Structure 1
Amino acid sequence: MSDVAAPSAASIPIVEVVAAVILRPDGQFLLTQRPSGKVYAGYWEFPGGKVEPDESLLRALERELWEELGIHVVHVQPWITRIFTYTHATVRLHFFRVVEWEGEVLPREEQGLSWQWPHQVAVAPVLPANGPILQSLLLPPVYAITHAAEIGVEAALQQIERALRSGLRLLQIREKHMPPDVLHNFAEKILELARPYQAKVLINGDLELARKIGADGVHLTSAQLMTLSSRPDPGHGLCGASCHNAEELFAAEQLGLDFAVLGPVQPTLSHPDLSPLGWRRFAALIRDYPLPVYALGGLHREDLPIAQEMGAHGIAMIRGIE
């Protein structure tokens, strides 16, 4: 979904820009402050810059990080792409996650440098185009989905509690065949388990239940997604959606959702009627996509690195919760 800061003439060309989300192992990321003499001087942003003619995105990223910070990129992952219209230009921002580099980060252009936590950005002002990116950084890399109907309620609660202790921070309650009263009780117990860990709990499909129990958001089914003309009430918090093709991804983008889940990537018991996308098709569908996307379908924790190499924010798992 495009972000618009001010009206702009349709004739203004789009400027291609690369931006680096440089991530430390502890989760901190780097922001840089635009030096005096530049447009938006004093504003904080992700390091990067314009792509030169006939220059690939990766080469532009490598060049910009060397010129600005004196580092050589070793391991980079494609992430999300957003278009933003400023008063002076319309830019297409290609964000990459840089998870490994060589050299010491230095302000080679006399710009300010600051390492920040996703949940507590302490510098201001931040360039407007980067607001959605900061929100996306709050999303954990693993999105778990319940399957109590398959293993039993008590076993599911025990499994979820172990996963929370091991670091799980985003969970979807998806129990399509559970009686309403049982589901209500099950969801409340999960919320009680999740609160001490500050984990987010979303309800699949049922906006009213999410509201009643004070869940952290809703996860729309693909069928729901295609019937909506606007995003559900912001009071529901996070809002994601299940997608299986380009049309559904576009619908999630138009509604301005927080994230999408795309699959199945591999054969899965939960969707035996759907042909798996495979990693190549998955990567093609989310190339230049503006929302974080979780890969879903026959995946386990060890698949997280390949998913992120393909451009995914992370992975969603049903049977791989632990």
Structure 2
Amino acid sequence: MKRVHVAAAVIRGVDGRILIARRADTQHQGGLWEFPGGKVEDGEAVEVALARELKEELGIVVTAARPLIKVKHDYPDKQVLLDVWEVSSFNGEPHGAEGQPLAWVSPRELPNYDFPEANQPIVAAASLPYEYLITPDGLETPALLRGMQKAIASGIKLVQLRAPNMYDPQYRDVAVDAVGLCAGKAQLMLKGPLEWLGDFPAAGWHLTSAQLRKYASKGRPFPRERWLAASCHNAEELALAEQMGVDFVTLSPVQATRTHPEARPLGWEQASQLVDGFNKPVFLLGGVSANDRQRAWSIGAQGVAGIRAFWPEH
């Protein structure tokens, strides 16, 4: 069966809301909501197909777009490759040129709409930022919280509280403060035993690769309303992350780092191959900075994660 190549768009308005369309009842997966787009013709460039489809479907002319995520999905009756681009600028006023209902939805409202199963990773990618801050090790609690506060004030929207040298009670105390700091401003990801999950309902959870190996076969430990992420370093761990139903992963180390000098870097080419075979948003980690964002996007990654790269120095 030939995989149907579809170009789809996450169209973001100036207010950050995203445009979605409802499929006609007569279509495949009819009645569900989707990200606008359509089939890529043989020999056609994806961005050309996307521009053509959005002109036909919505009456808009795309002026700025970039790759967001690729998702391969097998339905019982067809196989699709969704080639998703983020459209950040366009001319014209979108309207349902084919009679389809449209809705402008904030990223946090997206999970309230019914999408085809293949669209779930796109919902995650559309809701996540392109930078993921991981807190540095070895800081005293006041400095750690001060730095987090500063980073959030500067626009960081996704923060992992990583403090491997803290004792459990100490980490839990800091986590309580971090939850308060992030409330309504950024998504906090905590690390630790899954037994703690119930104590921090507002936080997402970032699993270590060891936890992934231990728990993947049991599936997702909590409902989709909460973010679940994992640290991956190779194809085997990415497969476990897929099995567990995580929302996104970090893939590391892309390049050599001072924090893990013993870890063998993947390099950009291998990272690119791993991202290409994985159906969820991927943050590249290890020796990368905000300057590598475009390169990360070009290989299909969500963006970049970092410790020093995004940590306010003072």
SS at match of 1:227: helix
Describe the shift of the 1:209–1:215 C-alpha distance in structure 2 as closer, same or farther (beyond 3 A): farther
Residue aligning to 2:211: 224
For 1:98-247, what aligned pairs fall within 5 Å after superposition? 98-121=87-110, 126-149=115-138, 151-195=139-183, 197-214=184-201, 216-228=203-215, 229-234=217-222, 237-247=226-236
Q: Note if contact 2:66-2:297 (Cα within 8 Å) is conserved in structure 1.
A: no
**Post-superposition CA distance 1:258-300 (Å, at most 9, x none):** 1110122233222211233333332222115211111111333
Quick one: which of 72, 77, 85 aligns to 2:67? 77
TM-superposed CA distance for 1:104, in Å, is: 4.7
Quick one: which of 253, 275, 286 aligns to 1:297? 286
**Post-superposition CA distance 1:130-161 (Å, at most 9, x none):** 34432442223222112241x33221110011
Residue aligning to 1:9: none
Q: Note if contact 2:232-2:249 (Cα within 8 Å) is conserved in structure 1.
A: yes
SS at match of 1:18: strand
Q: What amino acid does structure 1 have at the position aligned with 2:70?
A: I
CA RMSD of aligned residues (A): 2.9
Gaps of 5+ in 1: 1-11
Residue aligning to 1:6: none
Describe the shift of the 1:122–1:136 C-alpha distance in structure 2 as closer, same or farther (beyond 3 A): closer
What CA distance in whole angstroms lies between the structure 1 residues aligned with 2:297 and 2:204?
Answer: 24
SS at match of 1:140: coil
Describe the shift of the 1:160–1:74 C-alpha distance in structure 2 as closer, same or farther (beyond 3 A): closer
Task: Confirm or deny that 1:91 pairs with 2:80.
Answer: yes
Q: Note if contact 2:234-2:274 (Cα within 8 Å) is conserved in structure 1.
A: yes
Matched pairs, number: 308
**118-127 vs 239-248, which moves further:** 118-127
TM-superposed CA distance for 1:99, in Å, is: 2.6
What CA distance in whole angstroms lies between the structure 1 residues aligned with 2:210 and 2:96?
Answer: 49
Task: Confirm or deny that 1:21 pairs with 2:23.
Answer: no
Gaps of 5+ in 2: none
Q: TM-score, normalised by structure 1?
A: 0.82
**282-291 vs 12-21, which moves further:** 12-21
What CA distance in whole angstroms lies between the structure 1 residues aligned with 2:299 and 2:89?
Answer: 17
TM-superposed CA distance for 1:58, in Å, is: 3.9
Q: Note if contact 2:121-2:279 (Cα within 8 Å) is conserved in structure 1.
A: no
Q: TM-score, normalised by structure 2?
A: 0.84
Describe the shift of the 1:38–1:182 C-alpha distance in structure 2 as closer, same or farther (beyond 3 A): closer
Describe the shift of the 1:147–1:212 C-alpha distance in structure 2 as closer, same or farther (beyond 3 A): same
**243-252 vs 253-262, which moves further:** 243-252
**Post-superposition CA distance 1:13-44 (Å, at most 9, x none):** 54332211122343222112334754455543
TM-superposed CA distance for 1:106, in Å, is: 4.4
Q: What amino acid does structure 2 have at the position aligned with 1:203?
A: L
Residue aligning to 1:270: 259
Q: What amino acid does structure 1 have at the position aligned with 2:221?
A: D
Describe the shift of the 1:312–1:44 C-alpha distance in structure 2 as closer, same or farther (beyond 3 A): same
TM-superposed CA distance for 1:231, in Å, is: 2.9
